[in-house]
Structure 1
Amino acid sequence: MARLIIEEALTKSELCIRQGKEVEARQILLLILQHYPKNEEAHSRLLSLDSQKKVELRSDLQAKFTEAASLYERDLFEEFLVASHELRIQFPKTPLLWKLVGEAALKTKNFESAEQAYRKLVELEPGQAENYNNLGSVLIDLQKTDEALKYLRKALSINPAFFEAASNLGNALSIVGETTEALEICKNALRMEPTELDRLNILGNLFITLNSPNEALKAFKKVVSADPNNAFAHHGLGLAYKDGGNTQEAIRSLERSISLNPNNCSNSHYALSSMKKYSSDDPQIGQMIRMLEFPEADQRKRHLIYFSLGRVFRQLGEWEKSFNFFLKGNKLRKDELRYDSEQDIILFNRLKAQSPKIRKFALNPKPNEITQLPIFVIGMPRSGTTLVEQILSSHSLVFGAGELNLVARLAENLSVGDVVPSQKKLQAFRNEYLEKIAGLGDGVQFVVDKMPQNFLHVCSILSAMPEAKIIYVKRDAAATCWSNFTLNFPGGLGYSYDLQDVVLYYRLHLDLMSFWRKLFPKQIYLVDYELLTAHPEKHIKKLISYLELDWQDACLTPETNNRVVRTASQRQVKRKIYTGSSRSWKAYARFLNGIFDDLE
């Protein structure tokens, strides 16, 4: 390129710059440098173009950052997440930006975006305990609890006095069934003398979940001491007193919670309705009815008020009112859960289809390999499983562990065929389950796992632990179905909120149990609830004999067993064994259109 041509090219590039034709100017300058790499004028103009572009870009991004920050400050969190998207691409290593994104995502319950933000913060600030805690908390919300444990433990290793991380870790451990460690972590958290009242309330609730009402009382009393009008803490005290058997104090605390927060007290009314003796002119009845008339009053939990009123009018013998309230509460809950019975039909078919594949790899352990033998008490919810556990745990060599969620967590994928069965997978299930229950009850001979719906996993259980004892409790079909319908299960059992769905599920359960009993004819012990309650001594002695235990008279008086019971049968099992409960549904028979007539 001759000197004259270079000058012309430079002049043309300058003209292009003036006319705003930056792309064309850049091409000309690059062409000059291709032939004359040391041309200072071309270099200078090209650098000037790049600098100008960066200034414009920075200015544009600064404007976008200001706009995004304004959205965040005005609590427009969804809009902030949209506006900050380009900023995250341009400034991927800015911790403040990711913190704002994480907080905004949590405010809008966008847990996936929150997970992304906190993972980035863990990468950018690996020494900050708060980042690990926030990521662990989000992973719990996303039901990635096993992974959450890793990050929460890391948070506590960085800051052992981090109360929020300790309470989150206790929660995660509780979810995965590590109740012993969870309880210890929570006790340590309480010893940190936390001042955050909201977190103390959460910790108190966690103690209730862990069947530790005395520890729960300590947490809630700390809150009430600092804030006497804290309605949530009074509610928690009510639940803790209830679990500890102090009904009078439980009622007093729940009524205090209701008085402090009359428009947002559905949970307290529901807990109270299982204990209190109502009169027809009780002002709380009118209060609950008024709550249904005002949409702004605890809208998300209206179904609990319907269930509570169903219980109240059942107690008062006003059967039609009671039925209609139960009906409305169930409809609200079913609409919310969007349950479709087809999903359970598919599930039960998959369980049966998978069983021969699992049985091919059944383990054959050495005799006496297990020092603590699990007893699985299974059946439909509300079939009498709590009473059976209470009877068994009255024996000095049996520990009642309650409803553990271990089997579903460890074996569900195996049971339904989501993983290919093998001896290795069965052995892993066996080892982990036995490890989790090891030491419960100070190492007594038997540990009772009373999760009723472990009946879904009988094949996996007996293929991995053939020594295990399976006790199947069966109650009058109509009584079982009606009892399911009138109870709002924690977390929700989708089938239970519609009478037709309940009946279908009951039949699916019967069919599956018939299938299991043919597959394992000598390994499933049947307890008939009606016979047990009508002739307790005879059938309790047979049950204890099945376990090959020496007889102890305490098994005949399970109502004196002081262990904490947190199922819906909490109050019933504290009474002497009685008959007649399976007939109580008949008071509603005229409203049921014969839906139970063809049940077995």
Structure 2
Amino acid sequence: MTLQSPDPTRQFQDGLARFRAGRVAEARALFEALLKTHPNAPDPLFHLGRCLVAEGDRKGAMAAFQTALKGKPSDGPIWRALHGLLKGPAKAKLERQAAKAKIALGLEEQVRPILSAITKGRAAQVERTAVDLARATPGAFWPALALGEVWLALGKAATGPLEMARSVDPDHPRGKLALARAYLALGKVGRAEALLDQNAPGHAVALARLYRDIARPEAAVALLRDSKAKGVSVELALSLAACGESDAALKAADRAVSQGADKAALYRQVAYGLESAGDVAGAERALDAVLAVRATAPLLTHRAQLDQSAGDMAAAEARLAEAIAADPTHGEAFRAYANGRKVAADDPVFAQLQSALDRPDLRKPDRARLHFAAAKAAWDQKRDGDVFTHLTTANRLMAESYPYSFDADLAQARLLVGDASVVDGVRRDGPDAPVIFVTGLPRSGTTLVETILAAHPLAQAGGEMPFLSRALVPAMEALRDGTAQPDLFAAAGRRYLRAARRRAGDGVIVDKAISTFSRIGHTLAALPGANIVLVRRDPRDTGLSLYRNMFPEGLHRYAYDLTAMGRYIRLHEAVADFWHQRYPDRVHLIEYEALTQDPEPQIRALLEAVGLPWDGACLAPEAASRRIQTLSFAQARQPIGTASIAGWQKFETELQPLLDALEYQVDLTPDG
């Protein structure tokens, strides 16, 4: 648009900037003021119409677009904006007029092949088509929606096109659903929830997933229990599983299978949910029900890992042998077998492992797991020269599959410690329950400390529970939006406690959530009665142990590269030290080496710090009967000892990249 003076131009640009920033009312006022001096100017009219659409004034928006179109009859965005508001015969008439004027409207039929490809798992193949169509039809609803859904399917940031689509048609159910999914991917649960209407197609399922993601599975069940919407049975089964209701979850899963869901895949998901909720017997029942009719290697391996966590190594080995027989290339079965015992050179499974590694048709995930298993076997057989040969390959394959960015972790760490003054000021209205969080780097001794505490008759260990990070999501979102709301932190504490008690039972809860180290201030804002135990170990031994192990998909990505690992270890220490110094009376530091070399004084100090009376059972944690659902399930059943101290020295040459990276100095200041 060309205006007669610089001032109107600046006014127009200011209106655009405010609209893009979401300050719609301010933008509308600027465009209305501009139109008083430049009546019927097409560009201000067009953007006024967009403001009116965002405010729900469809009639006013149509009038603005129609007047704008008279001034710019060949302007595609105006045609498309008007088309998005019309219905019935008026819409059909505009489509005929657009075809005659050779204006591309970006109609629904143009994107149907793209949307169909997404449902068939071929989003990557149609991405270029979606991009080209969106560029050719700026301001059109359907092309923007299709591009957003393609990017959602590919795991890319999709809010840009989806927010644009919603600006054209704010009430379209599919557009709102897609944008809600994009917000959820960014952790913006408040924005997502505001878009979802449980009565709209597909929205109930998305809303239930949202509730599960923030540790509110009970709300998901209440939403879905009487729903007749498509796809509800699957989500209801998973939500019931997250509540630990195994009978009801399996009944819903059966209903979903009768409606076409894959039984093996669904039952395994249900098993994971029940296991997380603390109903391990229900998880075993779910897996056994599928294994009775379909004994696949992944299912057998999963079932064997439950046996390992319970300490039944004989049953685990029998199932793993069956899994390997069913699929001699299934790397996870070999890795689980090696983690559960010392692998002798004459072990038949070792021979099978060597044969599997020689196969040229291995999938990358299986090859990585096989090399981790082979490294463990070499370690057990004291073939030190072969240990890093296998570890280097295994970790390289994992790093290729899960790229890592230290800069992203550093930025997140700076953001979290930057919250300190805000969370310090949050009113402590959360539950004052005695929760003990054991945190530190993976492989630093956190499982040993958790097991020591779990041996106390007043304590109940839940393992590495995911509930606090989930429960905190709404509070963290508000914090990022510039407000720290006490009620959200208190609500997070209550949700966490409900989920943790369901899994761990009554008593003093012990939670080995590794991620707690970075959010100690936030944790204490949600749970004022909590105590934090920070475990620290020689970083060289920790680094070696990290490099020897594989973690759940996508987690601890730094562990697959020695240089990245060294820098991350220093970052972890800097963040943990920050919170320790800020809350010295709430964070108890325990050194792994001191604990294993002279346990009793360290354990006495530990119990005093967390408010538990002395009990001699804590000196022999290996005698306690409980499930251990971490990589340390075997070690934690051994007496406290020093065998793992200074093990890094044997591999000093191979670990040199780690040793060099440990010289890195971390700066947590925002502009550091």
Aligned residues: CA RMSD:
5.0
Question: Structure 1 residues 210, 266: closer, same or farther in 2, change over 3 A?
Answer: farther
Residue in structure 2 matched with residue 525 of structure 1 by the alignment: 588
Conserved? CA contact 2:214–2:471, under 8 Å: no
Which piece of structure 1 moves more, 302-311 or 515-524?
A: 515-524
Matched, 1:390 2:454: no
Give the fraction of aligned pairs with identical amino acids, expressed as a percent.
Answer: 23
SS in 1 for 2:414: helix
Conserved? CA contact 2:432–2:528, under 8 Å: no
Residue in structure 2 matched with residue 168 of structure 1 by the alignment: 238
Conserved? CA contact 2:205–2:232, under 8 Å: no
Q: Deviations over 1:164-212 (max 9, x none)?
A: 23333257x4xxxxxxx2x12x441224583634322332343344454
Give the letter for the 1:363 counterpart. R
Question: Structure 1 residues 262, 514: closer, same or farther in 2, change over 3 A?
Answer: same
Matched, 1:551 2:614: yes
Conserved? CA contact 1:378–1:472, under 8 Å: yes
Q: Deviations over 1:76-100 (max 9, x none)?
A: 77778999999xx9xxxxxxxxxxx
Give the letter for the 1:451 counterpart. A
Q: Deviations over 1:489-524 (max 9, x none)?
A: 113212111112222112222222332232223322
Conserved? CA contact 1:237–1:253, under 8 Å: yes
Residue in structure 2 matched with residue 246 of structure 1 by the alignment: 312
Pick from 216, 225, 230: which aligns with 2:292? 225
Instruction: Write the distance in 1 (CA, Å) between the matches of 2:562 and 2:315.
Output: 36
Instruction: Write the distance in 1 (CA, Å) between the matches of 2:124 and 2:514.
Output: 42
Total equivalences in the alignment: 526
Shift of residue 473 of structure 1? 1.2
Shift of residue 525 of structure 1? 1.3
Conserved? CA contact 1:122–1:128, under 8 Å: no
Which piece of structure 1 moves more, 274-283 or 523-532?
A: 274-283
Instruction: Write the distance in 2 (CA, Å) between the matches of 1:352 and 1:580.
Output: 36
Question: Structure 1 residues 71, 433: closer, same or farther in 2, change over 3 A?
Answer: closer
After TM superposition, list the pairs within 5 Å mapping 1:39-188 onto structure 2: 119=174, 131=202, 135=206, 154-159=223-228, 163-170=233-240, 173=242, 181=243, 183-184=244-245, 186-188=246-248
Residue in structure 1 matched with residue 427 of structure 2 by the alignment: 363
Residue in structure 1 matched with residue 374 of structure 2 by the alignment: 309
TM-score w.r.t. the length of structure 1 is 0.72
Structure 2: which 5+ runs fail to align?
1-92, 101-106, 138-146, 166-171, 179-196, 258-262, 664-672
Shift of residue 406 of structure 1? 3.5
Matched, 1:201 2:268: yes
Question: Structure 1 residues 495, 128: closer, same or farther in 2, change over 3 A?
Answer: same
Question: Structure 1 residues 276, 127: closer, same or farther in 2, change over 3 A?
Answer: same
Matched, 1:349 2:392: no
Matched, 1:474 2:536: yes
Which piece of structure 1 moves more, 334-343 or 437-446?
A: 437-446
Pick from 446, 463, 474: which aligns with 2:508? 446
Conserved? CA contact 2:274–2:280, under 8 Å: yes
Instruction: Write the distance in 2 (CA, Å) between the matches of 1:69 and 1:547.
Output: 55
Matched, 1:266 2:336: no
Conserved? CA contact 2:452–2:621, under 8 Å: yes
Conserved? CA contact 2:271–2:282, under 8 Å: yes
Instruction: Write the distance in 2 (CA, Å) between the matches of 1:107 and 1:593.
Output: 40
Matched, 1:516 2:566: no
Question: Structure 1 residues 543, 79: closer, same or farther in 2, change over 3 A?
Answer: closer
Q: Deviations over 1:113-164 (max 9, x none)?
A: 9x999948999xx999995676569879xx9768999777544322599652
Shift of residue 372 of structure 1? 2.1
Conserved? CA contact 2:580–2:587, under 8 Å: yes
SS in 2 for 1:377: strand
Structure 1: which 5+ runs fail to align?
1-46, 55-60, 90-100, 174-180
SS in 1 for 2:532: strand
Residue in structure 1 matched with residue 563 of structure 2 by the alignment: 500
Conserved? CA contact 1:372–1:443, under 8 Å: no
After TM superposition, list the pairs within 5 Å mapping 1:394-409 onto structure 2: 394-409=455-470
Q: Deviations over 1:445-468 (max 9, x none)?
A: 422221122111122233454442
Q: Deviations over 1:317-354 (max 9, x none)?
A: 11121112111111222222221222223333333333
Conserved? CA contact 1:559–1:576, under 8 Å: yes
Conserved? CA contact 1:470–1:523, under 8 Å: yes
Question: Structure 1 residues 493, 104: closer, same or farther in 2, change over 3 A?
Answer: closer
Give the letter for the 1:511 counterpart. A
Matched, 1:434 2:494: yes
Question: Structure 1 residues 76, 412: closer, same or farther in 2, change over 3 A?
Answer: closer
Conserved? CA contact 2:238–2:273, under 8 Å: no
Shift of residue 254 of structure 1? 1.2
Instruction: Write the distance in 1 (CA, Å) between the matches of 2:420 and 2:649.
Output: 38
Conserved? CA contact 1:372–1:444, under 8 Å: no
Pick from 480, 505, 510: which aligns with 1:419? 480
Conserved? CA contact 1:400–1:449, under 8 Å: yes
Instruction: Write the distance in 1 (CA, Å) between the matches of 2:270 and 2:370.
Output: 26
Instruction: Write the distance in 1 (CA, Å) between the matches of 2:124 and 2:570.
Output: 46
Instruction: Write the distance in 2 (CA, Å) between the matches of 1:467 and 1:473.
Output: 20
Instruction: Write the distance in 1 (CA, Å) between the matches of 2:198 and 2:423.
Output: 46
Matched, 1:575 2:575: no
SS in 2 for 1:158: coil
SS in 2 for 1:447: strand
Which piece of structure 1 moves more, 443-452 or 385-394?
A: 443-452
Which piece of structure 1 moves more, 143-152 or 211-220?
A: 143-152
Instruction: Write the distance in 2 (CA, Å) between the matches of 1:307 and 1:460.
Output: 36
SS in 1 for 2:606: helix
Instruction: Write the distance in 1 (CA, Å) between the matches of 2:277 and 2:459.
Output: 19
SS in 1 for 2:533: strand
SS in 1 for 2:534: strand
Give the letter for the 1:302 counterpart. R
Larger radius of gyration: 1
TM-score w.r.t. the length of structure 2 is 0.65
SS in 2 for 1:344: helix
Give the letter for the 1:336 counterpart. S
Give the letter for the 1:222 counterpart. A
Give the letter for the 1:476 counterpart. D
Instruction: Write the distance in 1 (CA, Å) between the matches of 2:661 and 2:120.
Output: 60
Question: Structure 1 residues 253, 74: closer, same or farther in 2, change over 3 A?
Answer: closer
Shift of residue 437 of structure 1? 1.0
Conserved? CA contact 1:320–1:588, under 8 Å: no
